[in-house]
């Protein structure tokens, strides 16, 4: 499989990365080189093979239902590019 | 998807060109009752200062990792059991990827292909005499998003992450509902079950229970039509309205020769219409994949059985028991089990008394009065024991039915022990024939014309009973009055 | 004082205990060396004041006869580990000014044990790279030069043909090799500890997945990322790993197992151990020097009493392509949080989507963008089954290959660490990205299977540049790797950089 220019733009938008028109051909060829490389996986017989969901067999530990965190608003917003009254500020989102 | 329900002519909607059937399926988002969030130790408390109930994990700081809250898992399993559903001993958390300012990770941790709960069903009471069984497709656990405020700043939106990461159960129904009424009844019943289980408080005003409503229409017997999803409807009344409004919109388009676009819409209660969510029109590609930060969620049958054993009695079972044990009607039974608190109140009143009388008093007098005053059982000024005492006084014929209602009023407004009030205020029923005869004689003497009339028309006796009761201040025993009047008027 | 920096971690530890020098002297010697080595660009942030303060406190503890296992030992920290109050960037512009209000579990355990932080080390942006050339702070130069190549420092800049130290933990490897710290933390997703260790003549171990907590380490690919140390010797790596490892309730994927005294495994006899030699690693066109080195390794282990067996890991050739689906997929999702909303770079836009796209376009470098886009593509509707699901199935097969071999009684597997020695900065950037990816051909299978792997220096190539061998172990059996690694180290000798040409 290989990607065309429209797909490069679609994927860039899906990943929320601005890509200029002149960047597209280079990206397209790079992505296609990678896709061509991974293409060899299609020759592996994976019939009946379970996809890996955890690399080592372990039981998932769970936390107790106790409030142990939060109330650190100054840490939460300390690195914010824009904030007001402890809210994060972003360009207005229209519903 | 084909469903087992036969078309009920009652549910058909008349269009200009013939009948239409409405098909509704629902995705309910129910906030899990827990102290801490699904994957962090921050509080789930409602209404904190902005970004106060937020941990580094909830804010998706670099290198932060989720650790699952065992209580949320327990609550999801209990809910599944309450919906008679299959519990999956192994389930997987997936990431649903999309960008939104109130979604800090850039993905929501949810369950996609392998949810914790599989198929189940809910018996929905459309009316006290009509029940339908609605299929539940699945229930899964997922994170809630934060909240964006769009009206606080001229050019910016404000983002608060207090809700970010709170546990939600998404409960997906089969498209088994056929009307606005059924849709309302489904949510009502599901909410009741969740509240009985204590797995979600069902508070729709706080957004703790929200519905995405899928609506389509079709000609009876035909395959399902294209559906629209109405997002985030937050009251049972609006759910009903949204279904009707959306179905009418779709019917109008189809009858006009148009086609329905599969899309997400919003219901605007003020305008009474649904509208397309334009900014979400772009086709979503959520790129689900198993969350590599979490291991599969696994537990054993023994754990599930422990939870099953400890489930409370649920509304359907309780209703059947009330009918069998207390002899209440199916209608009254349905009303009484609507809330666990109501059912408990009734049982306290009914204990050791006549069940039907208790049901009448609880439903008609007590619930009626609560409704009128906008109160609930928790804030009621009258207790089950007090209502029980009034019923006892009535049963022993110490007071008449009329006096009993007066007594209820007194206890409601002033409080106190009903028996003591009756004693102190002389409200005891008069059964002494001599005293009653005196009153009757006075009434007969004052109304000679009516006496003559009554001899020809025996039903007039009712008027006399009323007059005598009135003169006695309601205290005369009505049976005694009736007998004595008959004798004096010479009616057989 | 300058000879203090050439001590190994173990020697420095013993010297401090014996009061031959103070922690403060040790820290100062390193601070000075770091300052003089800026041309290498190994550190992206120096924290000398912090280091000297910590060292003074260590001296107080040592004077009282107290002190942890790493008391007073100056270390470098890869800039992927969050350090509280100290800028942490993952060497990306998108986090250029990020000051974490928290400390990663691994680094906090180092401070718990008394270590001293010299600063934050350069790495490939978000650990994506094999040469440290994708860093937003620019490339790191290896302390190794090609003999005869005219490479030197002028006005604080390197002139000539500097070599890459490997990546992504290029700063860590270069700093350890150049004596700019006694040891360093690193991370390894596809070879990012072992390949730079091999390129710089240092020892790097990627422990079993789950051995070290990932909490507070900037994530690249969650199912593959694992922290580990780079040290001057096998013993040093063992000492470091003991402090870095351990269960963390904040990381669900961390293993709740006791941490052994790894140092005790160094020098343990290996007689009778079965060492597998995978025939699939004998790639067509394998560099004869690498092949010869591998043969030497076999001979050394045999001499030490180990039994050598040929084994087969049939799915080896599919590990790298599967990796280049799984890792980008996970990174595309892991890096979605860098959106300019809560921290990091924000580039204004006409609306929220425009802001996202401009921020991420400006904040991420080329390689990161490429991987994020490949990841988004292989997960997108219609492609998931063909790419991601298939890759995860192949991963199951790769893991099964190893399990089969271990079930046959093999204790560890010996392979080359890299297909070549280091190369020049800029040399491989012109080619397509896959060329660079091939650097990880021997290391990546280990991450795909979650196993521990160590790279130990084993010799020099014809140009005089270091080469390493890799040992792959059973899950959570890092001890065997340290025992076997020590045999190679003893047989091959060490390869310290003698000439500090970068000091100008």
Domain boundaries, chain A: 5-43
Give me the torsion for CA of C115, C119, C122, C125, rounded to 10°: 90
Nearest CA in chain B to C336: B106
Mean pLDDT, residues B378-393: 95
Q: Cα C78–C81–C87 angle (5° rounding)? A: 90
- Percentage of chain C surpassing pLDDT 90? 95
CB atoms within 10 A of CB B455: 11
Are A58 and C383 in contact (CB < 8 Å)? Answer: no
Cβ-based neighbours of B292, under 8 Å, separated by 6 or more? C221, C222, C223, C330
Give the gap in angstroms from C-alpha C344 to the nearest C-alpha of chain A: 7
Give the gap in angstroms from C-alpha B407 to the nearest C-alpha of chain A: 48
C-alpha–C-alpha distance, residues C462 and C436, integer Å:
22
CB atoms within 10 A of CB B7: 13
Reply yes or no on whether the pLDDT at C309 is more than 60: yes
Task: pLDDT band for C278, please (50, 70, 90 cuts).
Answer: very high
Residue whose tokens read 């914010």: A80
pLDDT of C137 reads 98
Reply yes or no on whether the pLDDT at B278 is more than 80: no
Residue whose tokens read 């008959």: B486
Task: For residue B68, list chain C residues with Cβ-Cβ distance below 8 A.
Answer: 252
pLDDT of C200 reads 98
- The rounded mean pLDDT for chain C is 97
CA B75 to chain centre: 20
Dihedral sign for Cα B47, B48, B52, B58, please. Answer: negative
Reply yes or no on whether the pLDDT at C1 is more than 80: no
Active-site residue flag, C78 = yes
C-alpha–C-alpha distance, residues C174 and C176, integer Å:
6
Residue whose tokens read 């099964």: C400
Is A13's Cβ below 8 Å from some Cβ in C?
yes
Query: Is there a contact between C6 and C494 (Cβ–Cβ < 8 Å)?
Result: no
Task: For each of the domains in chain C, give its residue range(s) and CATH number, in order of start.
Answer: 2-266+484-503 (3.90.1300.10)
Reply yes or no on whether the pLDDT at B1 is more than 50: no
Is C350's Cβ below 8 Å from some Cβ in A?
yes
Mean pLDDT, residues B8-29: 94
Residue whose tokens read 């009993």: B404
Tokens of C324: 């280049």
Task: For residue C393, list chain A residues with Cβ-Cβ distance below 8 A.
Answer: 44, 46, 49-52
* Interface confidence (ipTM) of the complex: 0.97
Reply yes or no on whether the pLDDT at B281 is more than 80: no
Task: For residue C98, list chain A residues with Cβ-Cβ distance below 8 A.
Answer: 79
Which of C58, C104, C130, C168 is an active site residue? C168
CA C143 to chain centre: 16
CB atoms within 10 A of CB C312: 13
Task: For each of the domains in chain B, give its residue range(s) and CATH number, in order of start.
Answer: 11-306 (no CATH), 312-425 (no CATH), 433-489 (1.10.10.410)
Interface of B with A in 295-334 (CB under 8 A): 295-298
Mean pLDDT, residues C285-293: 93
Mean pLDDT, residues C62-90: 97
Give the gap in angstroms from C-alpha B68 to the nearest C-alpha of chain C: 8
Is B153's Cβ below 8 Å from some Cβ in A?
yes
Q: Cα C241–C244–C250 angle (5° rounding)? A: 145
Is C97's Cβ below 8 Å from some Cβ in A?
yes
Are C82 and B67 in contact (CB < 8 Å)? Answer: no
- C-alpha separations of B135 from B121, B139, B199, B304 in Å: 4, 12, 20, 21
Task: pLDDT band for B2, please (50, 70, 90 cuts).
Answer: very low
C-alpha–C-alpha distance, residues C460 and C198, integer Å:
10
Is B62's Cβ below 8 Å from some Cβ in A?
no
Cβ-based neighbours of B5, under 8 Å, separated by 6 or more? B132, B176, B178
Q: Which of B323-332, B392-401, C132-141 bottoms out in mean pLDDT, i.e. has the lowest?
A: B392-401
Give the gap in angstroms from C-alpha B59 to the nearest C-alpha of chain C: 8
Task: pLDDT band for B186, please (50, 70, 90 cuts).
Answer: very high
State the SS3 of chain B.
Answer: CCCCCCCCHHHCEEECCEEEEEEEEEEEEEECCCCECCCCCEECCCCCCCCCCCCCCCCCCCCCCCCCEHHHHHHHHHHHHHCCCCECCEECCEEEECCCCCCCCCEEEECCCCCCECCEEEEEEEECCEEEEEEEEEEEEEECCCEEECCCCCCEEEEECCCCCCEEEEEEECCCECCHHHHHHHHHHHHHHHHHHCCCCCCCCCCCEEEEEEEEEECCCCCCCCCEEEEEECCHHHHHHHHHHHHHHHHHHHHCCCCCCCCEEEEECCCCEEEECHHHCCCCCCCCEECCCCCCEECCHHHHHHHHHCCCCCHHHHHHHHHHHHCCCHHHHHHHCCCHHHHHHHHHHHCCCCHHHHHHHHHHHHHHHHHHHCCCHHHCCCCHHHHHHHHHHHHCCCCCHHHHHHHHHHHHHHCCCHHHHHHHHCCCCECCHHHHHHHHHHHHHHCHHHHHHHHHCHHHHHHHHHHHHHHCCCCECHHHHHHHHHHHHCCC
pLDDT of C2 reads 56
- Percentage of chain B surpassing pLDDT 70? 98
CB atoms within 10 A of CB B2: 7
Q: Give the β-pairing of C466-473 and B147-149.
A: unpaired
Tokens of A8: 């490069």
Mean pLDDT, residues C122-127: 98
3-state class of C463 per DSSP?
A: coil
Are B50 and A92 in contact (CB < 8 Å)? Answer: no
Interface of C with A in 299-328 (CB under 8 A): 315, 317-318, 320-322, 324-325
The per-residue pLDDT for range B437-474, each reduced to its tens digit, is 888 888 888 888 888 888 888 888 888 888 888 888 88
Is C337's Cβ below 8 Å from some Cβ in B?
yes
Residues of chain A with pLDDT under 50: none
Task: pLDDT band for B435, please (50, 70, 90 cuts).
Answer: confident
Angle between helix A24-38 and C319-334 (nearest 10) = 130
CA C453 to chain centre: 11
Between C184 and B1, name the one with better pLDDT: C184
Tokens of C175: 């700093």
pLDDT of B335 reads 92
Kindly list the partner chains of chain A, i.e. chains with 3 or more CB atom pairs below 8 Å. B, C
The per-residue pLDDT for range B82-110, each reduced to its tens digit, is 999 999 999 999 999 999 999 999 999 99
Reply yes or no on whether the pLDDT at C219 is more than 60: yes
pLDDT of B475 reads 82
Are B288 and C376 in contact (CB < 8 Å)? Answer: no
Cβ-based neighbours of B310, under 8 Å, separated by 6 or more? none
Is B103's Cβ below 8 Å from some Cβ in A?
no
Which of C142, C192, C254, C483 is an active site residue? C192
Query: Is there a contact between C332 and C372 (Cβ–Cβ < 8 Å)?
Result: yes
Is C482's Cβ below 8 Å from some Cβ in B?
no
Reply yes or no on whether the pLDDT at B169 is more than 90: yes
Of C224, C198, C221, C226, nearest to C211 by C-alpha is: C226
Are C222 and B293 in contact (CB < 8 Å)? Answer: yes
Are A15 and C101 in contact (CB < 8 Å)? Answer: no
C-alpha–C-alpha distance, residues C78 and B63, integer Å:
14
Active-site residue flag, C213 = no
Which of A69, A71, A94 has the highest number of chain B CBs within 10 A, making it the mutation to test binding with B?
Answer: A69
Active-site residue flag, C168 = yes
C-alpha–C-alpha distance, residues B119 and B159, integer Å:
36
pLDDT of B304 reads 98
């Amino acid at each position: 499989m290989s990607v065309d220019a429209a797909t490069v733009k679609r994927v860039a938008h899906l990943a929320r990365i601005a890509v200029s028109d002149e960047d597209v051909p280079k990206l397209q060829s790079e992505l296609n080189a990678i896709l061509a490389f991974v293409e060899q996986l299609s020759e592996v017989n994976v019939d009946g093979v379970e996809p890996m969901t955890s690399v080592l067999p372990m039981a998932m530990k769970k936390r107790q239902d106790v409030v142990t965190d939060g109330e650190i608003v100054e840490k939460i917003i300390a690195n914010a590019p824009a904030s007001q009254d402890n809210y994060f500020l972003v360009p207005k989102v229209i519903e | 998807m084909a469903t087992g329900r036969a078309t009920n002519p009652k549910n058909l909607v008349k269009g200009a060109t013939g009948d239409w059937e409405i098909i509704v399926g629902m995705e309910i988002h129910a906030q899990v009752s827990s102290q801490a969030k699904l994957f962090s130790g921050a509080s789930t408390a409602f209404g904190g200062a902005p970004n106060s109930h937020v941990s580094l994990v909830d804010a998706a700081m670099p290198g932060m990792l989720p650790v699952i809250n065992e209580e949320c898992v327990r609550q999801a399993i209990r809910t599944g059991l309450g919906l008679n559903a299959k519990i999956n001993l192994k389930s997987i958390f997936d990431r649903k990827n999309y960008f939104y300012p109130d979604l800090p990770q850039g993905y929501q941790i949810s369950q996609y292909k392998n949810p914790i709960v599989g198929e189940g069903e809910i018996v929905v009471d459309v009316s006290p005499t009509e029940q339908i069984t609605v299929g539940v497709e699945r229930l899964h656990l997922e994170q809630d998003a934060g909240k964006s405020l769009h009206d606080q700043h001229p050019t910016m939106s404000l983002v608060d992450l207090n809700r970010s990461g709170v546990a939600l159960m998404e409960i997906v129904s089969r498209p088994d509902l056929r009307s606005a009424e059924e849709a309302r009844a489904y949510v009502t019943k599901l909410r009741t079950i969740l509240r009985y289980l204590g797995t979600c408080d069902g508070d729709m005003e706080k957004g703790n229970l929200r519905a995405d409503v899928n609506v389509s229409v079709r000609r009876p017997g035909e395959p399902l039509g294209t559906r629209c999803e109405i997002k985030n409807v937050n009251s049972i009344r609006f759910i009903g309205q949204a279904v009707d409004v959306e179905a009418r919109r779709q019917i109008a388009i189809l009858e006009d020769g148009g086609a329905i676009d599969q899309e997400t819409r919003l219901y605007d209660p003020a305008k009474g219409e649904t509208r397309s969510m334009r900014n979400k029109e772009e086709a979503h590609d959520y790129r689900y994949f198993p969350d590599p930060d979490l291991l599969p969620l696994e537990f054993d049958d023994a754990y599930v059985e422990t939870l099953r054993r400890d489930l409370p009695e649920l509304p359907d079972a309780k209703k059947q028991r009330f009918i069998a044990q207390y002899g209440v009607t199916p209608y009254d039974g349905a009303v009484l089990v609507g809330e666990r608190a109501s059912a408990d109140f009734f049982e306290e009143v009914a204990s050791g008394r006549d069940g039907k009388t208790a049901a009448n008093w609880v439903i008609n007098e007590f619930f009626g009065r609560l409704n009128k005053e906008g109160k609930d059982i928790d804030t009621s000024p009258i207790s089950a024991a007090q209502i029980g005492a009034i019923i006892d006084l009535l049963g022993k014929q110490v007071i008449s039915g009329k006096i009993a209602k007066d007594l209820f009023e007194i206890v409601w407004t002033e409080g106190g022990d009903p028996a003591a009030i009756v004693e102190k205020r002389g409200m005891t029923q008069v059964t002494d024939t001599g005293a009653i005869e005196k009153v009757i004689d006075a009434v007969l003497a004052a109304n000679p014309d009516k006496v003559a009339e009554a001899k020809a028309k025996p039903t007039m006796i009712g008027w006399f009973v009323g007059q005598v009761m009135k003169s006695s201040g309601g205290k005369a025993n009505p049976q005694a009055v009736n007998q004595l009047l008959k004798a004096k008027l010479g009616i057989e | 004082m300058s000879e203090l920096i050439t001590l190994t971690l173990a020697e420095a530890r013993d010297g401090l205990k014996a009061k031959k020098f103070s922690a403060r002297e040790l820290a100062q010697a390193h601070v000075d060396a770091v300052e003089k080595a800026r041309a290498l660009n190994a550190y992206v942030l120096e924290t000398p004041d912090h280091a000297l303060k910590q060292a003074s406190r260590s001296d107080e503890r040592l004077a009282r006869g107290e002190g942890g296992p790493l008391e007073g030992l100056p270390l470098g920290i890869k800039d992927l580990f969050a350090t509280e109050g100290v800028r942490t960037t993952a060497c990306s512009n998108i986090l250029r000014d990020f000051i974490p209000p928290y400390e990663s579990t691994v680094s906090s355990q180092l401070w718990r044990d008394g270590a001293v932080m010299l600063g934050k080390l350069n790495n490939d942006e978000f650990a994506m790279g094999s040469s440290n050339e994708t860093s937003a702070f620019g490339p790191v130069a290896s302390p190794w030069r090609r003999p005869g190549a005219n490479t030197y420092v002028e006005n604080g800049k390197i002139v000539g043909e500097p070599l890459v130290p490997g990546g992504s933990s290029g700063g860590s490897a270069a700093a350890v090799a150049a004596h700019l710290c006694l040891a360093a933390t690193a991370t390894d997703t596809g070879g990012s500890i072992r390949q730079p260790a091999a390129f710089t003549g240092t020892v790097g171990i990627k422990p079993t997945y789950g051995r070290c907590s990932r909490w507070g380490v900037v994530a690249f690919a969650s199912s593959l990322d694992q922290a580990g140390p780079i040290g001057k010797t096998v013993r040093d790596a063992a000492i470091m790993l003991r402090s870095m490892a351990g269960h963390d309730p904040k990381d669900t994927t961390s293993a709740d197992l006791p941490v052994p005294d790894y140092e005790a495994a160094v020098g343990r006899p290996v007689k009778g151990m079965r060492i597998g030699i995978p025939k699939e690693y004998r790639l067509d066109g394998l560099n004869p020097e690498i092949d010869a080195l591998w043969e030497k390794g076999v001979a050394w282990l045999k001499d030490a009493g180990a039994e050598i067996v040929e084994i087969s890991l049939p799915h080896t050739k599919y590990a790298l392509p599967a990796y280049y689906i799984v890792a980008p997929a996970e990174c595309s999702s892991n890096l979605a949080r860098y959106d300019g909303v809560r921290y990091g770079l924000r580039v204004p836009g006409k609306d929220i989507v425009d802001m996202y796209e401009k921020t991420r376009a400006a904040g991420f470098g080329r390689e990161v963008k490429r991987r994020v886009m490949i990841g988004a593509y292989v997960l997108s509707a219609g492609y998931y089954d063909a790419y991601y699901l298939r890759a995860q199935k192949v991963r199951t097969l790769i893991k099964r290959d190893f399990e089969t071999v271990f079930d046959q009684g093999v204790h560890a597997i010996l392979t080359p660490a890299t297909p070549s020695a280091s190369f020049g900065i800029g040399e491989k950037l012109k080619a397509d990205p896959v060329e660079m990816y091939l650097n990880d051909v021997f290391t990546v299978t280990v991450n795909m299977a979650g196993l521990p792997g160590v790279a130990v220096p084993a010799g020099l190539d014809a140009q005089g540049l270091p080469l390493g061998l890799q040992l792959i172990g059973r899950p959570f059996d890092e001890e065997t790797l340290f025992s076997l690694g020590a045999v190679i180290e003893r047989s091959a000798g060490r390869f310290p950089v003698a000439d500090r040409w970068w000091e100008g």
